[in-house]
Structure 1
Amino acid sequence: MDYGYGNEGCFQNVFRSFVCVTLSLLLGLQVYTYLWGPQDVIEGDFTDIKYVVMQLTHGLSEVTSKHEQLQSEMERMSAALPAVAAAAGRAKDALEPSRRSPRHALDIRDYDRQIADYALETAGARVIDTGDTTEHAIYESPVGWVLYVVSSVLCRDCPGAAAILRPGTLPGECWAFKGSRGEATIRLLGTVYVTGVSIEHIPAHISPTREISSAPRLFQLEGLEYRSDQYPHDFGTYEYKKDGKAIQYFEVQHPSTKAYNLVRFRVLSNWGHTVYTCVYRVRVHGDLALGQAPSQISKDDQELRIENE
Structure 2
Amino acid sequence: MDYEYENGCFRNIFRSFVCVTLSLLLGLQVYAYFWGPSQDALEGDFSDIRYVVMQLTQGLTEVNRKHERLHGEMERISSALPVVAAAADRARDALQPSLRRNGRNTLDIQDYDRQMVDYALESAGARILDTGDTMDHVIYESPVGWVLHNLVGMLCSECLGARAIIRPESLPGECWAFKGSRGEVTIRLLGIVRITGISVEHISPHIAPTREISSAPRLLQIEGLEFRKDPFPHDFGSFEYDKDGKPIQYFQVLYPSPKGHSIVRLRVLSNWGHPVYTCVYRIRVHGDLATRISVTEEPDLRIENE
TM-score by length of 1: 0.62
For residue 299 of structure 1, what is the aligned residue in structure 2?
295
Give the equivalent residue in structure 1 for 2:89: none
Cα separation, partners in 2 of 1:136 and 1:107, compared to 1, 3 Å: closer
Equivalent residue number for residue 54 of structure 2 = none
Residues 1:246 and 1:124: Cα distance change in structure 2 (over 3 Å): same
Report the CA distance shift for 1:252/1:302 in structure 2 as closer, same or farther (over 3 A).
farther
Q: Number of residue pairs matched? A: 201
Distance 2:108 2:212 in 1: 24
Structure 1 residue aligned with 2:244: 243
Conserved? CA contact 1:226–1:305, under 8 Å: no
Q: RMSD across aligned C-alpha pairs, in angstroms?
A: 2.0
SS in 2 for 1:256: coil
Q: Which residue of 1 aligns with 2:186?
A: 185
Structure 2 Cα separation of the partners of residues 172 and 119 of structure 1: 20
Q: Return the offset for 1:158.
A: 4.9
Say whether residues 1:274 and 2:270 are aligned partners.
no
Q: Aligned equivalents of 1:257 and 1:196: distance in 2?
A: 14
User: Structure 2 regions of 5+ residues with no counterpart?
Assistant: 1-92, 94-102
TM-score where L is the length of structure 2? 0.62
**Whole-angstrom CA distance in 1 between matches of 2:152 and 2:227:** 24
C-alpha displacement at 1:111, in angstroms? 0.3
Amino acid of the structure 2 residue aligned with 1:191: I
Q: Are 2:211 and 1:210 aligned?
A: yes
- Trace 1:41-80 onto structure 2 (pairs within 5 A): none
Query: 1:181, 1:256 → 2: CA distance?
Result: 25
Considering fraction of residues, name the structure with more strand: 2
Deviation at 1:304, TM superposition (A): 7.2
| Further displaced range: 112-121 or 225-234 | 225-234
Task: Give the 3-state SS of the residue equivalent to 1:151 in structure 2.
Answer: helix
For 2:164, the equivalent position in structure 1 comes to: 163
Does structure 1 conserve the Cα–Cα contact (< 8 Å) formed by 2:199 and 2:283?
yes
Change (3 A) 1:227 1:208: same
Answer yes or no: is 1:150 the counterpart of 2:151. yes
Describe the shift of the 1:277–1:132 C-alpha distance in structure 2 as closer, same or farther (beyond 3 A): same
1:82-93 alignment, distance < 5 Å: none
The structure that has the greater radius of gyration is 2
Answer whether contact 2:104 2:251 (CA < 8 A) is retained: no
5+ residue gaps, structure 1, are 1-89, 91-100
For 1:162-187, what per-residue CA distance to the aligned partner results, in whole angstroms no more than 9, with x for missing partners? 00000000000000000000000000
Aligned equivalents of 1:122, 1:252: Cα separation in 2: 24
Counterpart in the other structure of 1:136: 137
Q: Is the 8 A contact 2:108 2:246 kept in 1?
A: no
Q: How many percent of aligned residue pairs carry the same amino acid?
A: 67
Q: 1:188 & 1:173 partners in 2: Cα distance?
A: 21
- Contact 2:108–2:247 (CA<8 Å) still a contact in 1? no
> Using a 3 Å threshold, how does the CA distance of structure 1 residues 254 and 274 change in structure 2: closer, same or farther?
same
The aligned residue for residue 196 of structure 2 is: 195
Residue 118 (structure 2) aligns with? 117
